[in-house]
Structure 1
Amino acid sequence: MDFFFVEYRDPLFGLIVLAALVFIMASSHYVWRIFANKDQKSKLDRFVKKFEINSTHQQILKNANLSIENLNFLAQIFTKSGEFEKAVGIYLIALKKTNEPSQKEFIFFSLAQVYLKAGFLERSVEALLNALKIKARNKESLKLLKIVYLKLKDFNKVLEVLECLFELGENIYTEKALIKALKIQSSPKDEKEKIKEILALSKDNEYILRLCFLYYKDKITQMPKFENVIDLLNECKTPLNLEDEKYQEFFYAKNLSYKSIVIKNQKLKILKILNDNKINANLSFTYVCNNCKNQNHLFFYYCPFCHEFGTCEIYYEVKV
């Protein structure tokens, strides 16, 4: 065993052994890098071939001396005009033209966005997973992957991605509870069991309370804030939760509650006056993301434009 201990040999022998070990490790790393690069290139070629669409304009772009920035600009133009097939083709060309990891990551992410807009969710997942292989701690890729999994209704995968975001410092507690509630809602469990389990998650979570109100408003006792469900209340034909002043004002303005009160909300006051004068008035709703300021005609938990969670503000106006 003394053979393995350098201190019992000539110092020169120890240096030779150390140099030999360094050489072996360096050679092994070099060989490993060669095979790793070949494997990476092979995987990239398979990815490109899987989704590649041959066309005349693609052959021209392949042969053209265009930079990655130029190709990205062209792809964005096609994406905005709804020509997703052409945009995908350009991004696939860009993938084959670059060897820079940061550029490949950006292209995979952009490709995933196009696939998502075009409705090819599985392809979007594959592109995002490729982007995350290059840079695993990319919040933007993880957030988009979360949205795609949510559209696929793969709630377990969404929860896994949320855990990754938590490790990167994101506050996920409210969102995680909502995803668990959506998972329970979509399960084949008995309705009473669903309500019990969902309400157990609803503490200080207005998004879950809205979900409960949407599906089980006649079976719950804890009501959401008026501002968060006014659009759902507008569909109600009978008054409820009249102990709450804002609920009471709303149903009084709609002539569904007959206890005379002073309405403080100016828009509801106008609605009441119009209804009392036999003018058929109602409320119209707009949903605005307080992050990107884009408008939508439907309520959203995740903004359909910037994909941020919990940014929906409900705006309403009186219409005749």
Structure 2
Amino acid sequence: MNSFFIEFRDPLFGIIVFFVLIFVITFFSYWWSRFRKKEDHRHLDKFLRQFRSLPSKDELKVLITKGDLSEKSWLLLAHSYAKHGDYEKSIEIYSELLKIGDKKNYRDTLFLLGRTYFKAGFLERAKEIFLKILQSNPRTPQALQYLLLVYEHMREYSLALEVLEPLNELKKDIQKDKVYLELLTLLHDMNLEVDEKVEKIVKTYALNHELTHMVFEYLFRVNPVLAWKNFDNSKSEVLSDVLWQLDKEHLDLDIIEKNGYLRELYTARGDVEMAEGSSVFELDVLINLKQKSNATLSFEYICDNCKVVFPFVFHRCSSCHSIDSSQIEFSLTKNYHREFSEENNSFQ
């Protein structure tokens, strides 16, 4: 028996027991940490799921009336949803706040709801809300501005022009809006013949000299001869994309020869040889390439007011709603059209 206890006092046995204990503790610690981590992830997923879907209307009503969050917090939450494109959740919050929120904020909340409907594309509902605001508060320029946008998107241009009258009385600058809506009215008037439409558009432009791109984009498409006849040389750069895409047979070489920018533009395109270089980098590259490569110009459009970039031309910015604020930016790209034409010719 004594010999048995002596073995337990062997230093080597003690070391073995020590390392076994370390192994056991490490083993259980590792699996316990994995278990806790898994539970934390489950808890976090459960927490995040609360923000992926709003409570039902009854639950939302209870949450708002309980007052755990202030009305301002709910408004900020709704604004955040709308900003990230989740209009449905934003509309639900605004609608509940209108029912049980502070009546002092009723008009402002109603306006935010109307604006959210407009952004979501529910134009009829947005129109009803803005008209409701104006019935009780006719001198509300924000509601008038959005009502004008609603009518414009619904192509009810005569009603949009009527909205300009109260805006003018409120000392708002309506000149560009008026010209823009008059041009839209002409462009979408199905009762006018093309020649009559062109004549009226030219007269409108002669009076205002605004919305150059919008006017000449249409004129060069339907009547290039008349477009060149009324061409404003000072607006050449504004029309770079329209002129670049114009067919060669519609070019007016006399006007091109007298305009330095047009000489560079069409030399870069390969139609003429009237320039040896350009101050515009992209045009200079194309001129020096002498059309030996399949390079061409592509265009993107930047709002001069809010700096949002669009891949397509616009006449009213969809972000800040400013008119005629589009700035053209060049970039070099591969000419897939030319490559496709050469491949077709090789098969013939």
TM (norm. structure 2) is 0.69
1:63: which partner in 2?
62
Q: Aligned match of 1:98 in 97, 101, 117?
A: 101
Q: Is the 8 A contact 1:106 1:131 kept in 2?
A: no
Q: Which amino acid aligns with 2:281?
A: Q
Identity %: 28
Q: Could you tell me which residue of structure 2 aligns to residue 263 of structure 1?
A: 278
CA RMSD of aligned residues (A): 2.2
Q: Tell me which amino acid in the other structure corresponds to 2:329.
A: Y
1:153 shift after superposition: 0.7
Residue 245 (str. 1) matches residue 260 (str. 2): yes
State yes or no: 1:89 paired with 2:64.
no
Q: For residues 309 and 201 of structure 1, what CA distance do their matches in structure 2 show?
A: 16
Instruction: Check conservation: 1:144, 1:307, Cα contact below 8 A.
Output: no
1:172, 1:78 → 2: CA distance? 32
Amino acid of the residue matched to residue 90 of structure 2? A
Spell out structure 1 runs of 4+ moving beyond 6 A.
none
Post-superposition CA distance 1:262-299 (Å, at most 9, x none): 5343331112223x151221222221222222211222
Partner of 2:241: 231
Shift of 1:173: 2.2
User: Which one of 259, 268, 291 corresponds to residue 305 of structure 2?
Assistant: 291
Q: Which has the higher helix share?
A: 2
Find the counterpart in structure 2 of residue 136 from structure 1: 138
Mapped contact 1:302–1:310 kept (Cα < 8 A):
yes
The TM-score with structure 1 as length reference comes to 0.75
**One-letter amino acid of the counterpart of residue 140, structure 2:** N
Instruction: Tell me how far apart the structure 2 counterparts of residues 211 and 204 of structure 1 sit (CA, whole Å).
Output: 15
Deviation at 1:151, TM superposition (A): 0.7
- Unpaired segments ≥5 residues, structure 2: 1-53, 335-348
Quote how far apart the aligned CAs of 1:184 are: 1.2
Asked whether the 8 Å contact 1:108–1:130 carries over to 2, the reply is: no
Q: Which has the larger radius of gyration?
A: 2
Residue deviations 1:32-58, cap 9 Å, x none?
xxxxxxxxxxxxxxxxxxxxxxx8532
> How far 1:201 sits from its partner (Å)?
0.7
> Residue in 1 aligned with 2:230?
222
TM-superposition CA deviations, 1:280-319 (whole Å, max 9, x none) = 2122222122222221122222211111223222222223
State the one-letter code of the partner of 2:243.
Answer: L
Q: 1:177 to 1:80 in 2, by over 3 A?
A: closer
Using the TM superposition, name which of 198-207 and 175-184 deviates more: 198-207
Whichever residue aligns with residue 59 of structure 2, its letter is: I
Aligned length in residues? 264
Structure 2 counterpart of 1:281, one-letter code: A
Change (3 A) 1:288 1:260: closer
Q: Determine the structure 2 residue equivalent to 1:305.
A: 319
Q: Structure 1: how far apart are the matches of 2:181 and 2:57?
A: 41
